[in-house]
A and B are shown apart, each in its own frame.
Chain A
């Protein structure tokens, strides 16, 4: 009833709910703890796809001529960047929907997707840093795309600070959504930064297609797909956990 839908138990305790008495309450919470089929399938899919993308990235794709094997970081670095953009795109859409239509569900999506976005931005920055050390001989450089990506990371960290302090207050959740909307307006700079300013960062995806050999394109596209499934699975899990935390907070409030 509740599992896998990403929506928790505020409906659960509403009028006509079967929960009466503490025994029923704990039973109800335990069912929410258990992942549903709808959550387990994407989990298996995500792990299978990531494993396959590792095969494609490490074995199937040829090594790059100048950089050698270290270039294989790209399949995870670029896919993580894609997931970060995807996550922040979802934050923007969910934030607009939450602000215009209301509904706790959208607010949870803002929270969950921003957290996952920060996670993938971190992977992207760390992976990129290792790669930069190998090919540019520096861990970090003040190159536009690097700088703007780091800003993006900070923007969504700020969003998480505000959203994390909401404690079920819809007013604060709306303010977090406002930050999400403003933050999403900064994302285009990150993407366009390499095209507006001359930078060191290579551009593998341009308006004329992929500037890569076909096998590398296959491995990269597959890792995009694998990471997307990974993102969707994480989103489902996080939504359920947020709903569960809200159930617990609501119960705690009601029981004093």
Chain B
């Protein structure tokens, strides 16, 4: 039975820009990237992709190539590694082994203007639920460096027929509408490679037809697409070629042409290929085969089906294309993304988005402020300021309240970046994640400062603190502490949110408070020194506060990209 599958794979492998899979199986000496008519390298290729999550091997040596003007459908059962493959192809996942090439250049090292021409439609929408459809697309247009971003967003929404819903928050949109908006987002900069994970999910027939139209236009313009799908019959018509992934390996590939109109026969064929993949995976799991597939499995001996790729002795697809050549290959119809998006523009876009999010979630800001006030009330009740002068403990009590108010809010704000996989969308625009941090950090600073405007006077009133002299030094000391806390708190909240996921709530103080201590202790001592009118006695603390506040503003330049990439 397996021979039938192999025969199909061998018989229909010819692609634009990539050699047929049969060439290797038949021992042919064709170069995989022998271009049809001599036109350039294929837009998308992957060589020996391996990846594991912890000890679970998800991809075990996947090779593929998608030629210009070609749409590849990827089929496979749940857990086959399709989404991981797509993330690797999008350059958003650093595989444990192997490489992805866009127009012959290593994807992970590709410049931003290439990355901005990769349209990714993920399992999640990459959109912010609290923002409106228009705000979401404007934000992405800004990140992509498109001119007149708000107009571009409106045009894209209108073209998709969502004009009536442009001002509605994404959380109010139906699944299908959200998916259509996600398609608009992916097509904002006129992508040259589209990577789509079940893009027709939730789409009505009209929207599905529009998606087919988009893919047809991409194909006509010499672009490439990889579509992960479960609907075999529809995908056979949509794609030029298919690839079956099972157990983390390619078990079959071929042209879709002979199968069109024979969906039932293809379903049987698919089931056999999946069974083969699972058998190989079981053999690997039982330690009878190595954990990692060798570069060139022997299909006849293993009873498997040749994977799509190039001969083991073929040259690497990486070419040393000059930037000018690469730019020419990437260029195509459509608005096109900016060659360079300055970091300042990204920070501004993120900051505006953050301020909007803080405003939309203002009940959370209110709750955090109320939490801080509660601390003041508890201390006020316990210490009774009418009988005891609370000035010596004021700074400590105030920062306890501010910490209670600020840390969970920062944690929520940071975790929001991973909601709907929005961070994937951000990274897909080629913008630097350090700019994301500074935008968010400034947003957190604004939110926290707003809460302080309420909390500090409230603490002074509740604890009956009488300020002698000018309040300016106290305000300066608090502002310095706030600056340090915003940077350190944002970085640590991101680390904890990323490391411990939804369970981070309880662990957040344990992990972050000790690391925040240089900033917090410094602020408390400096504020106390100013209140006691003896600032000189606290000069060492001021030095420490300045040092660590500065450190936490610069440290994320190096550390946040690591956190975000994790």
Contacts and interface: CB of A to CB of B under 8 A. Distances in A.
Q: Are A and B a genuine interacting pair, yes or no?
A: yes
A14 B290 contact: yes
Interface of B is mostly: helix
B285 A255 contact: yes
A253 B510 contact: no
A178 to B, nearest CB: 5
A175 B495 contact: yes
A107 B491 CA distance: 21
A161 B100 CA distance: 35
Interface of A is mostly: helix
B376 to A, nearest CB: 24
Contacts of B498: 171, 175
A176 interface: yes
A14 B52 CA distance: 13
A178 B559 contact: yes
Given A165-B500, A189-B518, A254-B285, A178 B563 contact: yes
B54 interface: yes
B514 interface: yes
Interface string A143-178: 000000001101101110110010111111011101
Contacts of B555: 182, 185
A185 B492 CA distance: 14
A21 B290 CA distance: 12
Interface in A111-155: 151-152, 154-155
B108 to A, nearest CB: 13
Interface in B266-319: 284-288, 290-292, 294
Contacts of A167: 54
B534 interface: no
B544 interface: yes
Contacts of B286: 254-255
A213 to B, nearest CB: 32
Interface string A235-256: 0000000000010011011111
Contact of B510 (A13, A161, A249, A256): A161
A165 B511 CA distance: 13
Contacts of B53: 169
Given A19-B287, A254-B291, A171 B517 contact: no
Contacts of A181: 559
Contacts of B491: 182
Contacts of B544: 189, 196
A186 interface: yes
A17 B299 CA distance: 21
A253 B518 contact: no
A17 B290 contact: yes
Contacts of A179: 495, 511, 515
A240 B286 CA distance: 25
A158 B514 contact: yes
Contacts of A178: 495, 559, 562-563
Contact of A256 (B54, B285, B292, B499): B285
A197 B55 contact: no
A16 interface: yes
A13 B287 contact: yes
Contacts of B543: 196
Given A178-B563, A250-B55, A154 B513 contact: yes
Interface string B530-566: 0000000000100110000001000100010011001
Nearest to A250: B55
B507 interface: yes
A25 interface: yes
A165 B499 contact: yes
B51 to A, nearest CB: 10
A134 B498 CA distance: 45
B290 A161 contact: no
Contact of B54 (A13, A15, A169, A174): A169
B511 A161 contact: yes
A157 B512 CA distance: 11
Given A158-B510, A254-B285, A171 B515 contact: no
A252 B55 CA distance: 9
B418 to A, nearest CB: 12
A169 B58 CA distance: 13
Interface of A: 13-17, 19-21, 25, 99, 151-152, 154-155, 157-159, 161-162, 165, 167-172, 174-176, 178-179, 181-183, 185-186, 189, 196-197, 246, 249-250, 252-256
10 contacts: A159-B511, A162-B495, A162-B511, A167-B54, A172-B499, A174-B566, A179-B511, A182-B492, A186-B518, A249-B54
Q: Across chains A and B, which 7 residue pairs bring their CB atoms closest together, nearest first?
A: A168-B54, A158-B511, A171-B566, A15-B290, A154-B514, A253-B55, A175-B499
Given A169-B54, A178-B563, 7 more contacts: A14-B290, A99-B562, A151-B517, A165-B500, A182-B555, A183-B515, A253-B56
